[in-house]
Chain A
Amino acid sequence: MRKSYVNNNIKINEFDALIKITVEMSKYLYPYIREILKSKEDIKENSIIWNDFNMRFIELIEERFNIDSIRVKKLLNQAENGEIIIKSLLILSFCISNQGFQKLKNFLYDF
């Protein structure tokens, strides 16, 4: 999915390190994640945060991902990407505890 011609498999310790970074970042960013989720709950009254987040998300996808891929096109489609984004944000918000590393790992293995 990424704009990369190198197709190396990720090593298990690199995978663990990425999960640790993600969990630490989610702990730090939890108030923002929460606000994005909240703004989507009441989109009529509070749509600014959600729209800003979605715009930036699409910008980053276009910048770093292979936009010719069908899966990436799904992520770019604003009508379809809501569910994927909400579920990803929920997973991050559930993993901010001290056991968050193990929780996120379990979520990813079950995905």
Chain B
Amino acid sequence: MQNKLSFHQSSVSLEIIGLPDYSNNENKDQISIISQWKLTIVDKPLIEGKIEHLRPIMDAFYIYSNLLIKNEIPIYESKLIDIKADNLHIHNIVLKSSKANVKPLLLKIGNSLLSDTINCFDQLNESPKVIIKNDITTNVPKKLRFGLNKKVKFFNIFIPPFFAICSLILFSSSFIYFYSPFENIEKKELTNPE
């Protein structure tokens, strides 16, 4: 008999079906061997997939929502899922099937459904009854990882000269107080007596 757990948030619900790992002395009602998951969004087709797809899809939503907030261009692309913004209010999701000859599933969701979905994933992450192996570093697409490293490197290159220039400006501005224009005029008069 498999355990079933549901997480609801307004128009979205996430269902997790699986078994506890008895070899790890887990309780009867726990799930750590997930056999099936279903993401239901009202008025949209049902999303379900293999267990190895759940974590990448969750990460895609988390990364995309972070990009959306941080004023960056919100685009997430991977082998499994693409999320792009139509505008600030509507988001296009393309779910690609691992099976051949299956067309990708296209979904359009608004900010309300996006936040419902994120909150469902949050509930799953915080649930003590479901254990999902966390392996975030392998799930971040190579393109994005490169982007993050590039950003860090850019700041490492940019910040030292920026501070150097600022300190030069501050240091040199203090010399304004030592500069005496009358002395200079006197010197000029001495060199050019005419």
Does A96 contact B119, Cβ atoms closer than 8 Å?
yes
Query: Does the CB pair A83–B88 fall under 8 Å?
Result: yes
How far, in Å, is A30 (CB) from chain B's closest CB?
8
Chain B interface, number of residues (Cβ within 8 angstroms)? 21
Is B115 in contact with A99, judged by CB distance below 8 angstroms? no
| Residue on A nearest B120 in the bound complex, by CB | A97
Judging by beta carbons under 8 Å apart, are A91 and B122 in contact? no
A34 touching B115, Cβ below 8 Å: yes
Segment touching A, from B17-25, B45-53, B65-73, B75-83: B65-73
Are B118 and A94 within 8 A (Cβ)? yes
For this complex, into which size category does the number of interface residues on chain A fall? Answer: 20 to 34
B27 proximal to A (CB < 8 A):
no
Number of CB contacts from chain A to chain B under 8 A: 62
| Chain B residues whose CB sits within 8 angstroms of the CB of A42 once the complex forms | 110
Interface of B is mostly: helix
CB of B67, distance to nearest CB on chain A (Å): 11
Whether A98 and B111, one on each chain, are in contact in the complex, defined by CB atoms closer than 8 angstroms, is no
CB distance from B24 to the nearest CB of A (A): 24
A41 on the B face (CB < 8 A): yes
Q: How far is the CB of B186 from chain A (nearest CB, A)?
A: 46
Pull 13 A–B residue pairs with CB atoms less than 8 Å apart, ordered by A. A33-B115, A82-B88, A83-B88, A87-B71, A90-B68, A93-B119, A96-B119, A97-B122, A97-B123, A97-B126, A98-B126, A99-B126, A111-B70
Q: Which residues of A contact B (CB under 8 A)?
A: 31, 33-35, 37-38, 40-42, 82-83, 86-87, 89-91, 93-94, 96-99, 107, 110-111
